[in-house]
Amino acid sequence: MDTLSYKTISANKNTVNKEWIVVDAKDAILGRLASEIAKIIRGKHKPSFTPHVDCGDNVIVINADKVKLTGKKMSDKIYVRHTGYPGGQRFQTPRELLEKHPERVIEKAVRGMLPKNRLGRRLFTNLFVYAASEHPHSAQQPKEIQL
């Protein structure tokens, strides 16, 4: 009797196929957009997904300043950071952060959805966020996708 033999293919950094993807954040809801971006960066949309390998794609996000938040989160949500000095706790709302550094709102949302370890820090370097509609990665010939 002839039986089929199925082998589980485990990707490594030499065999992984990484692509470049452009995502337009205009009028997108922040959390829903960030979860899809995190999935793509992690590589979970690929059949060759391997949990301990950086097998995701590079993601370019444009129009980060036009992202939306639902409800009263624009004024009620608070981002907390610390300067490192005594009494150095600082608070910012998404509205304040969008005025000064619009790309950081998306970066913070996506970073929170990636693993909290060495792999997560390495995966985060595959995200490129720009407030304007132009980006300097045209040489990589990225594919535009709608989320």
What pLDDT shows up at residue 147? 83
The whole-number average pLDDT for the span 34-61 is 95
Average pLDDT, the chain: 94
pLDDT at 1 over 60: no
CA separation for the pair 96, 104 (Å, rounded): 11
pTM of the model: 0.91
Q: How far apart (Å, rounded) are the C-alpha atoms in residues 92 and 135? A: 27
Report the distance separating Cα 18 and Cα 21, nearest Å.
10
Q: How far apart are CA 90 and CA 83, in angstroms?
A: 7
Torsions phi, psi for 86 (to 5 deg)? -60, 130
Region 35-45 average pLDDT: 96
